[in-house]
Structure 1
Amino acid sequence: MEAKETLAMVKGQAEIWQQMYAFVDSMALKCAVELRIADIIHLNGGPITLRQIADGVDSLSPDIPYLARIMRLLVRKNIFIEHHHSVDDDEETLYGLTEKSKWLLHDAELSLAPMVLMENHPWLLAPWHCLGQCVKEGGIAFNKAHGCGIWEFASKNLEFNNIQNNAMACTAKIVARGILAEYKDEFGCLGSLMDVGGGTGKLIAEIVKAHPRIKGTNFDLPHVVNTAPLHEGVSHVGGDMFEVIPNADAIIIKWVLHDWSDESCIKILKNCRKAIQQKSGKVIIVDIVLEKDRNDLFDETRMAFDLLMMAHTTGGKERTELEWKKLLEESGFGRYKIIKIPALQSIIEAYPD
């Protein structure tokens, strides 16, 4: 075997090993969030020792050698950073935050910690093991793992409902920043805005905070809005988007349509169209738009989300622009415009015929 061929074989082997154990990164990340390592460092005001991290962990007898091995991997992945300095002729290692670990702070204004906990929870990992079965015989991975769909599961399981609501709330605040940065002028003419599938109302609350004259409504399933906190200028309304959606000047629907099949999306969008009373009304879709040759910071994650929809939803998927265009046309929206924002998602502004 030639040296070039041998090198290619070894490289292929190494990459398969790396992919095989990619889950280790997720588990170490989850561990860091559960132990609140980033929060412990942050509360101390700067880099601290392993012993200080251990003292901050909620445990009477933390295993420091275990913690050291986890931190070694997280430093290798640039989640945390090591600082070395000498104390009485002994070298001491301190651990500090990076731009990555700042996203793991529980009480930060913008945080992905709740999302890390949700996506790596055993309840949401179980359906991934059913993907091969789904390819062979069809069906829904989440149903195969749990005996029902994700929304029914959430309605019956208060703990999971809370985990899911917290995760959706944290992403809503992040996406709201991107929306308000790139789309802020488009809200000024609206008297009322309906957030369909708005969860606990974080997104609509951020929009109304920036545009107080808007009458904001958060619309979601009763078991979701029943646990939603109060937001100034926002009303919570429980209902079913497949049945009827309350009237508004415009509708915003964030990260909802990717959860559903084309047939279900058409039902939702037709109900959105009925809810828009004025001719100037529009539907503001905030969702991923897949692009074949797009190579930005979020491209790999967008592709991963398409398989996430296979694992967790009833026929959901991420869509290309052509797929969005077809969906909108079949729902009575003859015109649309895509607006890029600094986030995983884009804005698809759709106008009824």
Structure 2
Amino acid sequence: MAADSRTIVAPTDAELLQAQADLWRHSLYYLTSMALKCAVELHIPTAIHNLGGAASLPDLVTALSLPQTKLPFLRRLMRLLVTSGIFASESGAEVETYRLNPLSWLLVEGVESEDHTYQKYFVLGTISRHYVEAGLSLADWFRKDLPAPLPSPFEGLHGLPLFHETTKLLDEELDRIVNKGKAAHDHLAIGTVIRECGDLFKGLQSLTDCGGGDGTTVRGIIKAFPHIKCTVLDRPEVIEAAPAHDSVTYVSGDMFHSIPPAQAVMLKLVLHFCNDEDCVKILEQCRKAIPSKQEGGKVIIIEILLSPSTGPIMYEAQLLMDMLMMVNTKGKQRDENDWRDIFIKAGFSDYKIVKKIGARGIIEVYP
């Protein structure tokens, strides 16, 4: 074989120095996550909110009951969090003040607002010891020749799956945190979906929300569309803890085996926990539960829709969520081609991407 005629061009001094700085950033990003966790555990966003939306370092030290000796260290923590976009800051003539931005607004406790969903437990779950240890085991997981079905790195390391009835046997506090975090993650932006994609629900007489948890989503839908008869399907232990509501029917069951009939079935942030084969099985049950397309039958899917067109920051966030699924579950995030293949295998005739909202896509799938 002839030698490759291409030659490797050595980086310039400036490129190597930039590369070294980039390597520092990528190697040390975990410290930003730990700084965020620290801010959440100290309740810094809530303290800034309670101080009227702006706080100096002395204000924060007093409000958080921290020793005065920690003030210079708090300055360094806040400097990183401001630079990372987690807080905003203003430099006045005498003192720097810190303010909330949309990101830290999500971490304020006790706010009564329809579109505010407290995300503390999402942060604490994803930066928990068990998640981090699973990520650290990734290279070992790749090296192992494991029989199908492949366990996730999380399950391979800890011996139990995540988001499962047995997770509490590993750690009850972890199970509590990740379920609270999942609920907060799922409920965020449902108000936006209802406002910007209201046509999804116009004309519907009945809707089944699969994996609908405590019914927060359907209660929001009923508020906007009171005529829709809504059913929530979820695991027995979830349904038992759900609050009663006159307009919501709660059904305990398994979406792999049967789904309560309705004109539309909704799957909101459910399928990304599943491999492709399980997605097909669930969607086959959905198809059985709805009428024909001519009678208005459809499945509404709300999931992350991988696409570079969302921009580099949003796309990176989507890919990080895909890695989160790979490390901790048997699921994944999918692009449009992935979804199309699954819909065809499940026996559906057509689909439409209704709208992209942030990292998520809203898809209608027709029998």
Question: TM-score, with normalisation over the residues of structure 1?
Answer: 0.89
Cα distance, 1:337 vs structure 2:
0.5
Larger displacement relative to structure 2 (300-309 or 59-68): 59-68
Q: How many angstroms apart in 2 are the aligned matches of 1:262 and 1:101?
A: 35
Describe the SS at the equivalent of 2:12.
Answer: helix
Larger displacement relative to structure 2 (183-192 or 292-301): 292-301
Report if aligned partners of 2:308, 2:315 keep a CA contact under 8 Å in 1.
no
Counterpart for residue 307 of structure 1: 323
Q: How many angstroms apart in 1 are the aligned matches of 2:350 and 2:168?
A: 36
Counterpart for residue 265 of structure 2: 251
Instruction: Provide the alpha-carbon RMSD of the alignment.
Output: 2.4
- Over 3 Å counting, the alpha-carbon distance change for 1:185 and 1:144 in structure 2 is same
Report if aligned partners of 1:165, 1:200 keep a CA contact under 8 Å in 2.
no
User: For structure 2, which runs of at least 5 residues remain unmatched after alignment?
Assistant: 1-8
1:162 aligned to 2:176? yes
1:141 to 118, 134, 153: 153
Report if aligned partners of 2:256, 2:281 keep a CA contact under 8 Å in 1.
yes
Counterpart for residue 216 of structure 2: 202
Q: Deviations over 1:20-56 (max 9, x none)?
A: 0011111111111111111111111132232321232
Cα distance, 1:292 vs structure 2:
4.7
Report if aligned partners of 1:83, 1:93 keep a CA contact under 8 Å in 2.
yes
The one-letter code sitting in structure 2 at the alignment partner of 1:25 is: T
1:15 to 13, 22, 25: 22
**What pairs up with 1:179-194 in 2 under 5 angstroms?**
179-194=193-208
Q: How many angstroms apart in 2 are the aligned matches of 1:273 and 1:155?
A: 33
Cα distance, 1:296 vs structure 2:
6.1
2:58 to 30, 42, 51: 51
Describe the SS at the equivalent of 2:39.
Answer: helix
Counterpart for residue 110 of structure 2: 107
Counterpart for residue 346 of structure 1: 361
Counterpart for residue 33 of structure 2: 26
- Over 3 Å counting, the alpha-carbon distance change for 1:304 and 1:78 in structure 2 is closer
Q: How many angstroms apart in 2 are the aligned matches of 1:97 and 1:320?
A: 33
- Over 3 Å counting, the alpha-carbon distance change for 1:98 and 1:229 in structure 2 is same
The one-letter code sitting in structure 2 at the alignment partner of 1:149 is: P
Q: How many angstroms apart in 2 are the aligned matches of 1:115 and 1:147?
A: 22
Q: How many angstroms apart in 1 are the aligned matches of 2:143 and 2:307?
A: 28
Counterpart for residue 329 of structure 1: 344
Counterpart for residue 231 of structure 2: 217
Describe the SS at the equivalent of 1:194.
Answer: strand
- Over 3 Å counting, the alpha-carbon distance change for 1:52 and 1:224 in structure 2 is same
1:76 aligned to 2:92? no
Q: How many angstroms apart in 1 are the aligned matches of 2:229 and 2:309?
A: 40
Describe the SS at the equivalent of 2:357.
Answer: coil
Counterpart for residue 280 of structure 1: 296
Using the aligned pairs only, state the percent identity.
36
Report if aligned partners of 1:127, 1:311 keep a CA contact under 8 Å in 2.
yes
Count of residues in correspondence between the two structures = 346
Q: How many angstroms apart in 2 are the aligned matches of 1:232 and 1:62?
A: 55
Cα distance, 1:324 vs structure 2:
0.9
Cα distance, 1:311 vs structure 2:
0.8
Question: TM-score, with normalisation over the residues of structure 2?
Answer: 0.86
Report if aligned partners of 1:182, 1:341 keep a CA contact under 8 Å in 2.
no
